[in-house]
Amino acid sequence: MLKGSQPTDGGHLSDISTEETEQIRSTDPIAAKYLRRLIGAQELINGEERYCLWLVDAEPSDIRSSPELIRRIGEVRAMRLASKKQMTKDDAATPHLFQENRQPRTAYLAVPRVSSESRRYVPMALMGPEVIANDALLTVTDATVYTFAILHSSVFMVWNAAVSGRLESRFRISAEITYNNFPWPEDPTNKTLIETAAQAIIDARNNHPGACLADLYDPLAMPRDLVEAHKKLDREVLAAYGLKASSTESEILANLFTRYSALTADLLTEEKPKVSRRRKS
């Protein structure tokens, strides 16, 4: 799990509205080639549209031939040169690029770094590499429906509630603490059933095209078909951990920490360095 790409561009490349996008498409065909959909947590959860100019593979001749690119890149360069941070000043040398590029090259799972504690599940979504993730998101590269399944389960939510930090009262998901330490089930025999249940969640979401993830996962508005799909997934994931469908949060957490202890046992039993002691004369 990685943090998404950080623009540090004053929004000139990374905060392009739908109206601006249409204007670029109608007036500057060269710049239009480099328009990409961009998502952060806000766009992911609330279904908002936002675009960026992704110029990683842009030809220098294209940049020089596009009035829109010249203008926007010039604004980025001026903004970075005016920064008090030396690193940002240095990155004025490449003003056409995001300051930090961590964009996945394969399908990925988009995970909001912060999510409301009132939701039963953290809303996430599978994305293609053509959709640019900014640093308000975390990404899991090479993600599959199985990845989507486990992280949308009640098992992961119990873990998240126990170990993640908080921003006010909201969950603040951490790659290092929440995700990297999470004990996944080992070679579950029901993996195909888990994937089928996860696909049912995706299908249930698609049954409500006018609803964003904030709507779908509002505890007062969650559609019945989505609730039922999540219940089925929870049963399958619990079974993968050797747990009953009726398991309590305490039982789930005890199972996870037992697994975590087993996974980290080797780290705790490593031979400690010997301490030399002087002999008294």
pLDDT at 281: 36
Query: Does 104 fall in a domain?
Result: no
pTM reported for the whole predicted model: 0.86
Q: How many residues does the chain have?
A: 281
pLDDT at 277: 47
pLDDT at 114: 82
Query: Does 251 fall in a domain?
Result: yes
Residue 156 has pLDDT above 60, yes or no: yes
pLDDT at 69: 98
Query: Does 217 fall in a domain?
Result: yes
Residue 257 has pLDDT above 80, yes or no: yes
Query: Does 90 fall in a domain?
Result: no
Low-confidence winner among 26-30, 132-136, 167-171, 186-190 (lowest mean pLDDT):
167-171
Query: Does 158 fall in a domain?
Result: yes
What is the domain count for the chain?
A: 1
Query: Does 279 fall in a domain?
Result: no
Cα separation, 200 vs 229, whole angstroms: 6
**pLDDT tens track for 177-220:** 888 899 999 989 999 999 999 999 999 999 999 999 999 999 99
Cα separation, 56 vs 96, whole angstroms: 8
**pLDDT tens track for 209-246:** 999 999 999 999 999 999 999 999 999 999 999 999 99
User: SS3 letters for the chain?
Assistant: CEECEECCCCCCCCCECHHHHHHHHHHCHHHHCCEEEEECHHHHHHCCCCEEECCCCCCHHHHHHCHHHHHHHHHHHHHHHCCCCHHHHHHHHCCCCCCECCCCCCCEEEEECEECCCCCCCCCEEECCCCEEECCEEEEECCCHHHHHHHCCHHHHHHHHHHCEEECCEEECCHHHHHCCCCCCCCCCCHHHHHHHHHHHHHHHHCCCCCCHHHHCCCCCCCHHHHHHHHHHHHHHHHHCCCCCCCCHHHHHHHHHHHHHHHHHHHHCCCCCCCCCCCCC
Range of the domain at 219: 145-262
Query: Does 85 fall in a domain?
Result: no
**pLDDT tens track for 17-64:** 999 999 999 999 999 999 999 999 999 999 999 999 999 999 999 999
Residue 138 has pLDDT above 60, yes or no: yes
* Packing angle of the helix pair 154-163, 224-240 (nearest 10 deg): 80
pLDDT at 278: 47
Mean pLDDT of the chain: 91
Query: Does 124 fall in a domain?
Result: no
